[in-house]
Chain A
Amino acid sequence: DADVTQTPRNRITKTGKRIMLECSQTKGHDRMYWYRQDPGLGLRLIYYSFDVKDINKGEISDGYSVSRQAQAKFSLSLESAIPNQTALYFCATSDSGVRTYEQYFGPGTRLTVT
């Protein structure tokens, strides 16, 4: 079984709809991240969490919110989806020791907003 899972894997939704992307991990890591990837722009950080009670905005948090329900679960919500939120979304985890730079990514969620 994969260590970092994301659901759904693909989603098509309409403008204005609320959507939640979910991430679960079995790696036992404290740190979790949400990124979006657009062609040519690389991965951009949306939100990150260092533990259950810690939530931080990343580079592009506007239009998104997150919830860290447990150490193993970190969900991303789009309150009112818009077409420029069409992208590939990745969840990632890392430990809190010396190798925090090694992030383990989920398989991604391809989101299309029409």
Chain B
Amino acid sequence: RKEVEQDPGPFNVPEGATVAFNCTYSNSASQSFFWYRQDCRKEPKLLMSVYSSGNEDGRFTAQLNRASQYISLLIRDSKLSDSATYLCVVRLNAGNMLTFGGGTRLMVKP
């Protein structure tokens, strides 16, 4: 079983739609969670951290469910520029490395 699993997609949505991705992780001792974004043929970049209480950054909302070991990313009012691959990232603790999921591809259509 992969340590971090994501539906690879693609998720094809129209502009203005709301879309959500989930990611599951296998190690229940994991402490920190993040979403990175990777544009086609580009490098990954940090999108947002995921806090236990959930957090929002503009149109983006991240949630953590420790009991079920999954994190989610919700994008409201999708823009064409949101088209990218979203990488779920988990870290065991501050001294450990990041573990990346395989990514979920989002395509927003006009």
Contact = CB atoms under 8 A, between A and B. Distances in A.
B44 A58 contact: no
Interface residues of B, number: 21
A102 B103 contact: no
Contacts of B101: 42
Interface residues of A, number: 19
A52 B101 CA distance: 29
Most buried by A among B8, B44, B101: B44
B106 interface: no
Contacts of A101: 32, 34, 46, 49, 89, 91, 98
B102 A108 contact: no
A41 B102 contact: yes
Nearest to A90: B43
Nearest to B8: A40
Nearest to B91: A101
Nearest to B89: A101
B66 interface: no
B94 interface: yes
Contact of B43 (A40, A41, A102, A108): A108
B71 interface: no
Nearest to A40: B102
B43 A106 contact: yes
Nearest to A102: B46
A48 interface: yes
Interface string A78-103: 00000000000010000000001111
Interface of B: 4, 8, 32, 34, 41-46, 49, 87, 89, 91, 94, 97-98, 100-103
A-B interface, 10 closest residue pairs, ranked by CB to CB distance from nearest: A105-B43, A43-B100, A42-B100, A42-B102, A102-B46, A40-B102, A42-B101, A105-B44, A45-B97, A107-B43
